[in-house]
Protein backbone atom coordinates (compact mmCIF):
# COMPACT_ATOMS: atom_id res chain seq x y z
CA UNK A 1 0.00 0.00 0.00
CA UNK A 2 2.95 2.31 0.14
CA UNK A 3 3.28 5.17 -2.28
CA UNK A 4 5.95 5.19 -4.94
CA UNK A 5 7.19 7.31 -7.82
CA UNK A 6 8.84 10.77 -8.03
CA UNK A 7 6.51 13.03 -10.00
CA UNK A 8 3.86 10.53 -8.99
CA UNK A 9 4.72 10.47 -5.29
CA UNK A 10 2.60 12.09 -2.63
CA UNK A 11 4.67 12.89 0.44
CA UNK A 12 1.67 12.55 2.72
CA UNK A 13 1.06 9.01 1.43
CA UNK A 14 4.66 7.99 2.05
CA UNK A 15 4.52 9.39 5.59
CA UNK A 16 1.20 7.64 6.21
CA UNK A 17 2.66 4.20 5.55
CA UNK A 18 5.90 4.95 7.34
CA UNK A 19 3.82 5.55 10.49
CA UNK A 20 2.42 2.02 10.18
CA UNK A 21 5.82 0.37 9.76
CA UNK A 22 6.21 -0.96 13.32
CA UNK A 23 2.89 -2.81 13.15
CA UNK A 24 2.99 -3.91 9.49
CA UNK A 25 3.79 -7.54 10.23
CA UNK A 26 1.18 -7.91 13.00
CA UNK A 27 -1.57 -10.02 11.37
CA UNK A 28 -4.08 -8.51 13.81
CA UNK A 29 -2.73 -4.97 13.45
CA UNK A 30 -3.60 -2.13 11.07
CA UNK A 31 -2.47 -4.12 8.03
CA UNK A 32 -4.60 -7.16 8.79
CA UNK A 33 -6.66 -6.79 5.57
CA UNK A 34 -3.44 -7.13 3.55
CA UNK A 35 -2.41 -10.19 5.56
CA UNK A 36 -5.81 -11.72 4.89
CA UNK A 37 -5.86 -11.05 1.15
CA UNK A 38 -2.19 -11.74 0.41
CA UNK A 39 -2.54 -15.54 -0.08
CA UNK A 40 -5.32 -15.00 -2.62
CA UNK A 41 -3.57 -12.29 -4.60
CA UNK A 42 -0.25 -14.15 -4.65
CA UNK A 43 -2.06 -17.38 -5.49
CA UNK A 44 -3.30 -15.60 -8.61
CA UNK A 45 -0.04 -13.85 -9.50
CA UNK A 46 2.65 -16.50 -8.93
CA UNK A 47 1.32 -19.16 -11.36
CA UNK A 48 0.77 -16.50 -14.01
CA UNK A 49 4.36 -15.34 -13.74
CA UNK A 50 5.43 -18.98 -14.02
CA UNK A 51 3.26 -19.60 -17.08
CA UNK A 52 4.46 -16.39 -18.74
CA UNK A 53 7.96 -17.83 -18.52
CA UNK A 54 6.89 -21.21 -19.91
CA UNK A 55 6.80 -23.01 -16.58
CA UNK A 56 3.99 -25.44 -15.79
CA UNK A 57 3.50 -25.08 -12.05
CA UNK A 58 2.67 -28.31 -10.28
CA UNK A 59 4.06 -30.69 -12.91
CA UNK A 60 7.62 -31.08 -11.77
CA UNK A 61 9.67 -31.42 -8.55
CA UNK A 62 10.50 -27.70 -8.64
CA UNK A 63 6.81 -26.75 -8.38
CA UNK A 64 7.28 -25.55 -4.79
CA UNK A 65 9.61 -22.87 -6.18
CA UNK A 66 8.04 -22.09 -9.57
CA UNK A 67 9.82 -18.74 -9.90
CA UNK A 68 13.33 -20.09 -9.31
CA UNK A 69 15.89 -17.86 -11.03
CA UNK A 70 13.41 -15.19 -12.15
CA UNK A 71 13.98 -11.52 -11.32
CA UNK A 72 10.82 -9.93 -9.95
CA UNK A 73 10.36 -6.29 -8.94
CA UNK A 74 7.82 -5.38 -6.24
CA UNK A 75 7.08 -1.65 -6.61
CA UNK A 76 5.62 -0.04 -3.50
CA UNK A 77 6.57 -3.12 -1.50
CA UNK A 78 5.92 -1.61 1.94
CA UNK A 79 7.16 -3.97 4.64
CA UNK A 80 7.34 -6.88 2.21
CA UNK A 81 4.24 -9.08 2.39
CA UNK A 82 4.23 -9.75 -1.37
CA UNK A 83 8.02 -9.67 -1.67
CA UNK A 84 8.40 -12.48 0.85
CA UNK A 85 5.77 -14.61 -0.91
CA UNK A 86 7.63 -14.15 -4.21
CA UNK A 87 10.96 -15.01 -2.57
CA UNK A 88 9.51 -18.19 -1.06
CA UNK A 89 8.39 -19.11 -4.59
CA UNK A 90 12.04 -18.91 -5.65
CA UNK A 91 12.22 -15.46 -7.25
CA UNK A 92 15.17 -13.11 -6.90
CA UNK A 93 13.14 -10.21 -5.53
CA UNK A 94 13.87 -6.50 -5.56
CA UNK A 95 11.49 -4.61 -3.26
CA UNK A 96 11.22 -0.90 -3.97
CA UNK A 97 9.54 1.74 -1.84
CA UNK A 98 9.90 5.41 -0.97
CA UNK A 99 8.89 4.79 2.67
CA UNK A 100 12.12 4.27 4.57
CA UNK A 101 10.62 3.11 7.86
CA UNK A 102 8.50 0.50 6.10
CA UNK A 103 11.62 -0.76 4.33
CA UNK A 104 13.45 -1.07 7.64
CA UNK A 105 10.65 -3.31 8.87
CA UNK A 106 10.84 -5.27 5.60
CA UNK A 107 14.59 -5.83 5.91
CA UNK A 108 14.34 -6.95 9.53
CA UNK A 109 11.52 -9.40 8.83
CA UNK A 110 13.22 -10.87 5.75
CA UNK A 111 16.50 -11.29 7.64
CA UNK A 112 14.72 -13.08 10.48
CA UNK A 113 13.21 -15.47 7.96
CA UNK A 114 16.43 -16.00 6.02
CA UNK A 115 15.03 -14.49 2.82
CA UNK A 116 17.62 -12.70 0.63
CA UNK A 117 15.41 -9.88 -0.67
CA UNK A 118 17.06 -6.79 -2.15
CA UNK A 119 15.11 -3.93 -0.59
CA UNK A 120 15.78 -0.46 -1.96
CA UNK A 121 14.52 2.93 -0.94
CA UNK A 122 13.53 4.91 -3.99
CA UNK A 123 11.11 5.41 -6.83
CA UNK A 124 10.57 3.40 -10.01
CA UNK A 125 11.78 6.11 -12.36
CA UNK A 126 15.05 6.28 -10.42
CA UNK A 127 15.52 2.55 -10.96
CA UNK A 128 14.70 3.00 -14.63
CA UNK A 129 17.13 5.91 -14.98
CA UNK A 130 19.84 3.77 -13.41
CA UNK A 131 19.42 1.21 -16.19
CA UNK A 132 18.07 -1.52 -13.93
CA UNK A 133 15.23 -2.61 -16.18
CA UNK A 134 14.69 -6.06 -17.68
CA UNK A 135 12.85 -7.69 -14.78
CA UNK A 136 11.05 -10.91 -15.65
CA UNK A 137 7.92 -9.57 -13.92
CA UNK A 138 6.89 -6.37 -12.16
CA UNK A 139 4.15 -6.10 -9.55
CA UNK A 140 2.56 -3.05 -7.92
CA UNK A 141 -0.06 -4.08 -5.38
CA UNK A 142 -2.39 -1.64 -3.62
CA UNK A 143 -0.14 1.20 -4.80
CA UNK A 144 -1.61 2.96 -7.80
CA UNK A 145 -4.49 4.44 -5.80
CA UNK A 146 -1.87 6.31 -3.74
CA UNK A 147 0.11 7.99 -6.54
CA UNK A 148 -0.43 11.44 -8.02
CA UNK A 149 0.37 10.63 -11.66
CA UNK A 150 -0.94 7.22 -12.65
CA UNK A 151 0.13 7.50 -16.29
CA UNK A 152 3.74 8.23 -15.34
CA UNK A 153 3.61 5.36 -12.88
CA UNK A 154 2.34 2.95 -15.56
CA UNK A 155 5.09 4.08 -17.94
CA UNK A 156 7.65 3.23 -15.26
CA UNK A 157 6.20 -0.24 -14.75
CA UNK A 158 6.25 -0.85 -18.51
CA UNK A 159 9.82 0.38 -18.78
CA UNK A 160 11.09 -1.82 -15.95
CA UNK A 161 9.75 -5.15 -17.20
CA UNK A 162 11.46 -7.06 -19.99
CA UNK A 163 9.65 -6.99 -23.37
CA UNK A 164 7.84 -10.31 -22.93
CA UNK A 165 7.32 -10.04 -19.16
CA UNK A 166 4.04 -9.49 -17.28
CA UNK A 167 3.05 -6.54 -15.12
CA UNK A 168 0.57 -7.00 -12.27
CA UNK A 169 -1.44 -4.24 -10.63
CA UNK A 170 -3.99 -4.58 -7.85
CA UNK A 171 -6.17 -1.73 -6.69
CA UNK A 172 -9.67 -0.62 -5.69
CA UNK A 173 -12.48 0.17 -8.10
CA UNK A 174 -14.17 3.56 -7.76
CA UNK A 175 -17.76 2.47 -7.23
CA UNK A 176 -20.54 3.10 -4.73
CA UNK A 177 -19.85 -0.34 -3.26
CA UNK A 178 -16.16 0.39 -2.75
CA UNK A 179 -17.05 3.65 -1.01
CA UNK A 180 -19.47 1.82 1.28
CA UNK A 181 -17.30 -1.21 2.04
CA UNK A 182 -13.64 -0.29 1.45
CA UNK A 183 -13.83 3.27 2.75
CA UNK A 184 -16.71 3.72 5.20
CA UNK A 185 -16.98 0.11 6.31
CA UNK A 186 -13.30 -0.81 6.55
CA UNK A 187 -12.07 2.47 8.04
CA UNK A 188 -14.95 3.90 10.05
CA UNK A 189 -17.31 1.07 10.99
CA UNK A 190 -15.18 -2.08 11.31
CA UNK A 191 -11.87 -0.28 11.93
CA UNK A 192 -10.06 -2.81 9.75
CA UNK A 193 -7.82 0.00 8.48
CA UNK A 194 -6.70 3.28 10.06
CA UNK A 195 -9.04 6.16 9.23
CA UNK A 196 -7.64 8.05 6.25
CA UNK A 197 -5.85 5.07 4.68
CA UNK A 198 -7.68 5.62 1.40
CA UNK A 199 -9.06 8.50 -0.59
CA UNK A 200 -12.02 7.08 -2.53
CA UNK A 201 -11.58 9.74 -5.22
CA UNK A 202 -8.21 8.12 -6.09
CA UNK A 203 -9.67 4.65 -6.59
CA UNK A 204 -9.25 3.45 -10.18
CA UNK A 205 -11.90 2.01 -12.45
CA UNK A 206 -10.73 -0.96 -14.56
CA UNK A 207 -11.42 0.91 -17.81
CA UNK A 208 -9.28 3.81 -16.61
CA UNK A 209 -6.43 1.52 -15.60
CA UNK A 210 -6.66 -0.39 -18.88
CA UNK A 211 -6.43 2.84 -20.87
CA UNK A 212 -3.46 4.07 -18.83
CA UNK A 213 -1.65 0.78 -19.28
CA UNK A 214 -2.31 0.87 -23.04
CA UNK A 215 -0.86 4.34 -23.29
CA UNK A 216 2.21 2.96 -21.50
CA UNK A 217 2.56 0.24 -24.15
CA UNK A 218 0.86 -2.58 -22.24
CA UNK A 219 -2.37 -4.45 -22.85
CA UNK A 220 -4.52 -6.12 -20.22
CA UNK A 221 -4.40 -9.91 -20.63
CA UNK A 222 -6.27 -11.01 -17.51
CA UNK A 223 -8.40 -9.51 -14.75
CA UNK A 224 -9.98 -10.88 -11.57
CA UNK A 225 -11.83 -9.56 -8.58
CA UNK A 226 -10.58 -10.05 -5.03
CA UNK A 227 -13.50 -10.84 -2.77
CA UNK A 228 -13.91 -11.79 0.87
CA UNK A 229 -16.29 -14.43 2.19
CA UNK A 230 -18.14 -12.58 4.97
CA UNK A 231 -18.73 -15.82 6.89
CA UNK A 232 -15.14 -17.06 6.98
CA UNK A 233 -13.19 -13.86 6.37
CA UNK A 234 -11.21 -15.66 3.68
CA UNK A 235 -10.29 -13.96 0.43
CA UNK A 236 -10.42 -15.46 -3.02
CA UNK A 237 -10.53 -14.46 -6.67
CA UNK A 238 -13.77 -14.06 -8.58
CA UNK A 239 -15.38 -12.27 -11.51
CA UNK A 240 -16.61 -9.50 -9.22
CA UNK A 241 -14.34 -6.47 -9.74
CA UNK A 242 -16.68 -4.07 -7.99
CA UNK A 243 -14.35 -3.41 -5.04
CA UNK A 244 -10.86 -4.97 -5.15
CA UNK A 245 -9.37 -6.32 -8.36
CA UNK A 246 -6.17 -7.61 -9.98
CA UNK A 247 -4.92 -6.93 -13.50
CA UNK A 248 -2.24 -8.68 -15.54
CA UNK A 249 -0.79 -6.80 -18.50
CA UNK A 250 1.93 -7.39 -21.07
CA UNK A 251 3.48 -5.64 -24.05
| Annotation: binding site | 41, 76, 97, 141
Q: What stretches of 30-177 adopt beta strand conformation (E)?
A: 71-75, 92-97, 118-121, 137-141, 166-172
Angle between helices 100-112 and 11-18 (to 10 degrees): 40
CB of 100 closer than 8 Å to CB of 53 = no
Sheet holding 219-228, edge to edge: 118-121, 92-97, 71-75, 137-141, 166-172, 244-250, 219-228, 235-238
Residue 211 DSSP SS3: helix
Question: Residues annotated as binding site for S-adenosyl-L-methionine?
Answer: 41, 76, 97, 141
Residue 215 CA to residue 23 CA, distance in Å, equals 37
Amino acid sequence: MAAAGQGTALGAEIAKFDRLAADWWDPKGPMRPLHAMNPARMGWIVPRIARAQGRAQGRDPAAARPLEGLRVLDVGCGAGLASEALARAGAAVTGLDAAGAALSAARAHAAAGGLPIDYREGRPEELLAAGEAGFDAVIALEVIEHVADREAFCRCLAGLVRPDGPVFVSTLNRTARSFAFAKLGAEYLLRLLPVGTHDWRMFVRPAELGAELRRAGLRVTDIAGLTMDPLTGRWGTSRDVGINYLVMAAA
